[in-house]
């Protein structure tokens, strides 16, 4: 009888299979789409279009220290260093189409949803123009209020219906609504197990090391509508619940002394040092805004509900909502502090960092620090600056703990 695989073993296997299956689909003449990370992938999968995600691919390339070749290629073609490094890596890769880290096949169409940022619209439009392929765009107006108004949802539903027409035109066949229903059901189940797994970190000590959450996040992006993705997150959740029940912390060695929120994208290109410096001081990332970001849930067969769900990514919501959500997470996870990644690539998030920091301190008395970095560009982060900021945060968290203990005496 074969030994049961761990979720980490399965994770690595599924990541490798994802890229291999994409190459195989292309070889067999099947359609391949490049899509943004939080798009209605259900529509593409319902039409048996194989979907790969340039952001995921860029992160994988950066984590393997391969990003500079592609950054230099795109910058040499006139793309500014000030734009998103995911975009620059992908636009450079489009020209080279070869990486020692991992490869994705050339797309037959691109599918873009701007709920994550506005940069993607021009990035994907450029891809479509330069490659002369169809461009399907799903526009999600920014939510200036807590909830998306009905007229916005109606507008987005109309776009989903139009995207279905475009996919019928691209594929030359009728849309498969039965397959859509199946994919919607699996996507909802995957989102459920993803969030439940991430929220095991409420236990003290947390059974989850937050940087593992970043690694598992790759698959909640790219196989959310597939059964193997759902099964992976269910297995991961069961493993974490067992660890929590046994009182096991995030690391084999070392104590979880401080629990923090990480705000922003991970520095994929400097993943190891940013993780090791936190661990060195006993600081564990127990949550972020990402567990909810990929908890895209709606009723199966409810197109309008799906449209509404895709408008609720945190980067597409007002400052009040994000601030209140972060304060809620701080209470629920018993947070000691927050690490804000001021990501050169992510202007939308950066513009609110200092306001979020001010509100956290004012409303909840939670200390935080901001460090400068980037997800794929290795030229931005100073490890010395990063460690100095973490040291400062540890001092503030220790002072806060001491003050709490004094009040309890």
Q: Is there a domain that residue 265 lies in?
A: no
Q: How many domains does the chain have?
A: 1
- Cα torsion 34, 39, 44, 45: sign: positive
Strands 135-138 and 368-373: unpaired
Q: Tell which residue, 116, 108, 110, has the closest CA to residue 86.
A: 116
Tokens of 130: 């330069």
Phi and psi at residue 184, to the nearest 5° = -60, -45
Q: Give start and end residues of each alpha helix (H) in 28-84.
A: 41-46, 54-63, 67-76
Q: Is there a domain that residue 266 lies in?
A: no
The answer to whether 305 touches 327, Cβ cutoff 8 Å, is no
Distance CA 49, CA 54 (A): 16
Q: Would you state the torsion angle of the CA atoms of residues 66, 286, 388, 58, taken in this order, to the nearest 10 degrees?
A: 10
pLDDT in tens, 374-391: 999 999 999 999 999 999
Q: Is the pTM above the cut of 0.85? A: yes
Distance CA 336, CA 397 (A): 6
Residue with structure tokens 């994550």?
116
Q: Is there a domain that residue 105 lies in?
A: yes
Distance CA 367, CA 360 (A): 8
Q: Is there a domain that residue 251 lies in?
A: no
Instruction: Tell me if residue 232 falls in helix, strand or coil.
Output: helix
- List of long-range contacts for 146-152, beta carbons under 8 Å, 24+ apart: 146/317, 146/318, 146/320, 146/321, 148/308, 148/311, 148/312, 152/311
Tokens of 101: 């880290």
The per-residue b/e assignment along 363-379, b for 16 or more CB within 10 angstroms, e otherwise, is: eeebbbbbbebbbbbbe
Tokens of 125: 């439009």
Q: Is there a domain that residue 234 lies in?
A: no
Q: Would you state the torsion angle of the CA atoms of residues 311, 312, 313, 315, taken in this order, to the nearest 10 degrees?
A: 90
Tokens of 371: 């460090």
Strands 32-35 and 50-52: parallel
Identify whether 6 is preceded by a cis peptide bond (ω within 30 of 0). no
Q: Is there a domain that residue 385 lies in?
A: no
Quickly count: other Cβ atoms within 10 Å of residue 242's Cβ.
12
Per-residue pLDDT tens listing for the chain (409 residues): 457 899 999 999 999 999 999 999 999 999 999 999 999 999 999 999 999 999 999 999 999 999 999 999 999 999 999 999 999 999 999 999 999 889 999 999 999 999 999 899 999 999 999 999 999 999 999 999 989 999 999 999 999 999 999 999 999 999 999 999 999 999 999 999 999 999 999 999 999 999 999 999 999 999 999 999 999 999 999 999 999 999 999 999 999 999 999 999 999 999 999 999 999 999 999 999 988 888 899 999 999 999 999 998 888 999 999 999 999 999 999 999 999 999 999 887 778 899 999 999 999 999 999 999 999 999 999 999 999 999 999 999 999 988 887 777 6
Q: Is there a domain that residue 48 lies in?
A: yes
Residue 407: per-residue pLDDT: 79
Range of the domain at 82: 10-170
CATH code for the domain of 52: 3.40.50.11890
Q: Tell which residue, 87, 63, 61, has the closest CA to residue 75.
A: 87
Q: Is there a domain that residue 389 lies in?
A: no
pLDDT in tens, 130-180: 999 999 999 999 999 989 999 999 999 999 999 999 999 999 999 999 999
């Amino acid at each position: 009888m074969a030994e049961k695989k761990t979720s980490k073993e399965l994770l690595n296997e599924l990541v490798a299979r994802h890229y291999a299956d994409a190459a195989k689909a292309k070889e067999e003449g099947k359609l391949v789409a490049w899509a943004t990370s939080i798009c209605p992938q259900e529509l593409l999968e319902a039409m048996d279009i194989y979907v790969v995600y340039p952001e995921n691919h860029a992160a994988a390339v950066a984590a393997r220290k391969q990003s500079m070749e592609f950054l230099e290629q795109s910058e040499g073609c006139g793309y500014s260093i000030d734009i998103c490094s995911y975009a620059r890596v992908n636009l450079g890769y489009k020209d080279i189409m070869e990486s020692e880290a991992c490869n994705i096949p050339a797309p037959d169409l691109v599918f873009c949803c701007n709920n994550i940022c506005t940069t993607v619209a021009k990035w994907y439009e450029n891809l479509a123009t330069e490659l002369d392929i169809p461009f399907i765009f799903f526009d999600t107006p920014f939510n200036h209020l807590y909830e998306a108004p009905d007229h916005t949802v109606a507008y987005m539903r109309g776009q989903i219906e139009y995207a279905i027409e475009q996919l019928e035109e691209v594929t030359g066949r009728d849309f498969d609504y039965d397959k859509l229903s199946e994919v919607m059901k699996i996507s909802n189940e995957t989102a459920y197990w993803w969030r439940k797994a991430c929220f095991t970190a409420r236990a003290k000590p947390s059974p989850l090391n937050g940087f593992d959450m970043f690694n598992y996040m790759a698959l909640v992006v790219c196989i959310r509508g597939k059964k193997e993705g759902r099964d992976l997150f269910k297995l991961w959740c069961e493993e974490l619940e067992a660890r929590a029940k046994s009182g096991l912390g995030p690391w084999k060695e070392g104590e979880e002394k401080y629990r923090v929120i990480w705000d922003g994208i991970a520095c994929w290109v400097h993943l190891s040092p940013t993780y090791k410096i936190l661990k060195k001081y006993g600081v564990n990332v127990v949550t972020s805004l990402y567990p909810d970001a990929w908890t895209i849930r709606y009723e199966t067969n409810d197109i309008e509900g799906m449209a509404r769900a895709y408008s609720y990514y945190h980067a597409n919501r007002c400052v009040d909502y994000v601030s209140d959500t972060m304060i809620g997470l701080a209470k629920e996870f018993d947070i000691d502090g927050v690490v804000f990644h001021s990501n050169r690539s992510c202007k939308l998030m950066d513009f609110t960092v200092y306001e979020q920091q001010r509100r956290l301190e004012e409303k909840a008395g939670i200390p935080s620090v901001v460090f400068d970095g980037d997800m794929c560009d290795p030229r931005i982060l100073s490890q010395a600056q990063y460690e100095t900021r973490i040291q400062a945060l540890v001092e503030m968290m220790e002072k806060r703990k001491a003050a709490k203990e004094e009040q309890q005496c």
